Chains A and B, each alone.
Chain A
């Protein structure tokens, strides 16, 4: 990858080149403009950042370690694999970076109620945590299918005092949860702050979520320099909406560092049962922004599929669409069975139980490591922990049999 300067996006209207923007009903527009003004005013502020840093360090558990996965690297016989341990953040893993930031902003704006959508439940748990921290009322919209397959996180959210709003429409997954959260937000717009969990949605959400997640990459930069004396050669992260990936990648965009975003190929990209949006989708508008989508020729959104609920979404953040078009980030996809194989390997070789979402990135790293010399450095964002997935994994024969 040749060195190139990545311009500062989004522009003043929230566009990332041809993507992004604010494609929402008029009722929401004033609220988005108010949010944008508050984001510009509070978030760059020294006091806001100081308050957030204290919360992240003393409450959430930052900085997270950068761990050299020596046994895994030796087993593969190639490049050194480092894991950015976002999984060690107790409630919602990397999602807590963003929800503490947004909830702090909500508090500054005088909002007392927050809502969120969730797929795997990680963002729901992280939002419920932030709501408990600030003493705010919290409703989490979650598809009924996801409620079924991510039961431990449903329990966590309830323990944290959040109200679960089951969503039955569509396929009962993340897309439907987001539809319903937007509908609710329109009706409660005057006193409710909507905490979106990914670098998706209308402006300013993609820029705001990136601002709160980029700490992953900033820490990684310092840690990899401390441990290896130089920048890594390759960064790898899974991409559903794309927030953990953007968090890791963003601080390195102007460096000579290669990056791979890993989407979910589900049962295979030729089967129709997948969530490989950037590698197979086309441009369209969903949930307030323009990006790549899974859609039919008439612009109807198609169902995504992945064994991991957090990647089971037919859209992707608009900045990823731009970075794909620019060729700055390479996007590929990993199948359910490959992610499960990586899950199993990391459990046994390193004693780390990764989320199924993160297992997609681990699989990609295993393939890439083999192709590269031992002096190469690969950093994988281990964005989540697999305890939430035990119910799914327990149902998979290959893993049970081992």
Chain B
């Protein structure tokens, strides 16, 4: 059983939903980033999405754009992201770690090299935001050996037939984008995304995690009513941005995490 499967099984037994925490690797620098991630894990995230910074993040809103720019400025790159996972695994053996990236950094690193290095570092999956099923085979067909699930996305614009196809080729869990827009957009419509989740859950046995535009514990509770997991990203990055230079960023992120986690307990 994979770490992802074990995590969802454990949560189901406990009557909880998954809190999926996204953080840009290396924001504001590698050392603080590791402290922040530790605080997130210690305070209850169930799955870590580790963002690879990219110079041209076209699917992201201003908050994650700026976090990506800070991380690049601090010298972050895929090799160092891999080192961060290795170092996290010394202490955190059970939490699933998903590498969240645009395609070009992986392509430049080398598709086979990425697979080899990240599987051995202890990554559990990869989500490539600009790699739809139409293009993903060039990557996954070159991965042979232990499975490294490619986490697929479903959007509000995805029609039924396409959704079925995406569900059929998915592995790990499915990431459902709650709204048309970039990350960090305001105005979650929990009932609309709830309908979407129900539509998706009718055609897949995989867990469904919902992201984009979720920022408060109330949002988390609303989404958790139908989804199997709730993804928080920009809200964490906003905390980093508003507290740059302060010594207690990790502590603040820890308290924020605990509040979100409480909202996933039904």
Binding site for B on A (CB under 8 A): 13, 21-31, 169-170, 175, 179, 182-183, 186-190, 283-288, 293, 295, 297-301
Contact = CB atoms under 8 A, between A and B. Distances in A.
Interface stretch (B29-37, B84-92, B100-108): B100-108
B108 A297 contact: yes
B58 A26 contact: no
A189 B157 CA distance: 8
A27 B130 contact: no
A187 B130 contact: no
A189 B185 CA distance: 15
Q: Which of B61, B77, B103, B132 has the most CB of A within 10 A?
A: B132
Contacts of B77: 298
B180 A26 contact: no
A312 B65 CA distance: 22
Contacts of B155: 25-27, 29-30
How many B residues are at the interface, by size bracket? 35 or more
Nearest to B182: A183
Contacts of A183: 58-61, 182
B59 A186 contact: yes
Given A27-B177, A286-B104, A299-B108, A22 B134 contact: yes
A300 B52 CA distance: 11
Contact of A24 (B72, B130, B158): B130
B180 A27 contact: yes
Contacts of B107: 283-285, 299
B157 A31 contact: yes
Contacts of A23: 103, 130-132, 135
A382 B57 CA distance: 35
Contact of B180 (A179, A187, A300): A187
Nearest to B61: A183
B121 interface: no
Contacts of B105: 298-300
Interface of B: 54-61, 65, 72, 77-78, 102-109, 129-132, 134-135, 152-159, 162, 166, 177, 180-182, 185
Given A284-B107, A297-B108, A30 B162 contact: yes
15 contacts: A22-B132, A23-B103, A25-B58, A25-B59, A26-B166, A28-B157, A170-B56, A183-B59, A183-B182, A186-B181, A285-B102, A299-B104, A299-B106, A299-B109, A300-B54
B104 A169 contact: no
Nearest to B129: A25
A29 B153 CA distance: 11
Contacts of A286: 56, 104
A187 B157 contact: no
Given A23-B135, A30-B158, A182 B181 contact: no
A293 B55 CA distance: 13
A27 B180 CA distance: 7
A190 B156 CA distance: 11
Nearest to A203: B134
Nearest to B53: A300
A283 B110 CA distance: 12
Contacts of B166: 26
Nearest to A21: B135
A31 B156 CA distance: 12
Contacts of A301: 55-56, 104
B56 A175 contact: yes
Contacts of A30: 155, 157-159, 162
B161 to A, nearest CB: 10
A324 to B, nearest CB: 19
Nearest to B54: A300
A29 B180 CA distance: 12
Given A187-B182, A300-B72, A301-B56, A24 B132 contact: yes
Contacts of A298: 77-78, 105, 108-109
The 4 closest A-B pairs by CB, nearest first: A299-B108, A27-B155, A299-B105, A187-B181
A285 B130 contact: yes
Nearest to B131: A23
Contacts of B134: 13, 21-22, 29
A189 B153 CA distance: 17
B130 to A, nearest CB: 5
Contact of B132 (A29, A188, A283): A29
Given A25-B153, A186-B180, A284 B108 contact: yes
Contact of A22 (B55, B135, B154): B135
Nearest to B80: A298
A190 B57 CA distance: 22
A299 B182 CA distance: 22
A171 to B, nearest CB: 11
Contacts of A29: 132, 134, 155, 157-158, 162
B229 to A, nearest CB: 17
A187 B177 contact: no
Nearest to B57: A179
A288 B58 CA distance: 10
